[in-house]
Amino acid sequence: MTEMVYGSIPVQTGDPILPRWWRTIDKWTLTCVMMLFGVGLLLGFAASPPLAARNNLDPFYYVMKQAQFGGLAMIVMFITSMMSPKLVRRLATLGFIAAFIAILLLPFIGTDFGKGATRWLSLGGMSVQPSEFLKPGFIIVAAWLMAASTEVAGPPGKQYSFILTAVICLILALQPDFGQACLILFGWCVMFFVAGAPMLLLVGVAGATVVAGSFAYMNSEHFARRIDGFLNPEVDPRTQLGYATNAIREGGLFGVGVGEGQVKMSLPDAHTDFIIAVAAEEYGMILVLAIVALYAVIVIRSLYRLTKERDPFIRLAGTGLACMFAVQAMINMGVAVRLLPAKGMTLPFVSYGGSSVIASGIVCGMLLAFTRSRPQGQIGDILMRRGR
């Protein structure tokens, strides 16, 4: 019984790593990730040439850059997915420490690229957004702390994880980067809920978030401007939201045709934050629904396989990664259709951006590593044995 996981194939310790990896990996999730990357390149051919022309670059300069970033992300994802959960935890902790130090240095050596928020480190000819790499590392560290608190005489890991979350959210809000702060807080809340947190405490966290949001609205012009724009019933057609809304409306069910879209000519962030508007205009709602389905399969498959996992750290970390990945995609698409205020958040694997694509590769690599089939008893068997 201890060599089975709901009918999965037992793993023999002497197997070569690649055949063992292929037998135990979730092939549905892997396929969907590869398809999302392919969709991102397809949309890059549509969205990036106008930007390249404005910057006097080769028409497909940004597509080639995205292919390079994506290729590196795929390599990172495959390597990470072959690691053991223990090795993932160790490396992610080191990565978290490095990213945390980087965001502390942003006020001194960071840049905003004219966007009003100091989120990037400029390293020679490239830029890095540390918060993208902070997210997966934070999820792993917080899950480790929460799992440790369940052990006999374990540390108060839940309290430590809460303090860590509050510190990180405060630092990100000061950049300001409220979108990433919300993702960090959401990921922690999901894991805390799965770890058995009382609902009253989660309600208290939600109330504190509302209070913090009200304070930010009254004291941050950047935050207030985005909220006011969202609440205004009239959409200025000359803003990014106005262009995106019109593009989605024009696209209809089947789109206006490949290369026929006009929103990419007007939107400065058509290749990043509003890439879904380009997809809706040129390919129609059909492609948008296909993209949503790919994200849904990745998240649902991951959560389903995690329900069979008996290790509390793997369950918590995998759940946090999957839910944060899903919510980031929801926020990006929600902003484009004006269901949410503008956040400046990328669509994982689809939007252009080195930090975003590589960080998404790390997240999915961790998810694939955590959801691999491993020899272990069923949770019910373990509980019955403990009760004897």
Q: Considering only 14-28, 137-151, 202-216, 279-293, which range has the smallest mean pLDDT?
A: 202-216
Nearest Cα neighbor of 244 from 271, 276, 222 is 276
Count of other CB atoms within 10 angstroms of residue 3:
12
Model confidence band, residue 114 (pLDDT cutoffs 50, 70, 90): low
Contact (Cβ atoms closer than 8 angstroms) between residue 94 and residue 135: no
The answer to whether 172 touches 131, Cβ cutoff 8 Å, is yes
What per-residue confidence (pLDDT) applies to 242?
81
Residue 229: strand pairing partners: none
Residue with tokens 């995106």: 244
Stretch 72-78: mean pLDDT: 97
pLDDT digits (tens, 9 = 90+) for 30-55: 999 999 999 999 999 888 888 888 88
- pLDDT of 196 above 80: yes
Give 348-378 pLDDT, tens digit per residue: 999 998 899 999 999 999 999 999 987 765 4
- Write the CA distances from 155 to 146, 149, 160, 193, 292, integer angstroms: 9, 5, 9, 19, 40
* 107 close to 118: Cβ distance less than 8 angstroms: yes
In terms of Cα–Cα distance, which of 4, 10, 2 is closest to 385? 2
The two structure tokens encoding residue 168: 């990180």
* Matching residue, tokens 């608190």: 149
Dist. CA 160–CA 117, nearest whole Å: 28
Output the pLDDT for position 2.
40
On the question of pLDDT at 314 being above 70, the answer is: yes
Mean local confidence (pLDDT), 147-159 = 88
Do 278 and 264 contact (CB within 8 A), yes or no?
Answer: yes
> Percent of the chain, pLDDT > 90?
49
Average pLDDT of the chain is 86
**pLDDT the model gives residue 3:** 41
Q: What are φ and ψ of residue 128, in 5° steps?
A: -130, 135
Better-predicted residue by pLDDT, 173 or 191: 191
DSSP 77-133: HHHHHTS-HHHHHHHHHHHHHHHHHHHHHHHHHEE-TTSSS--EEEETTEEE-HHHH
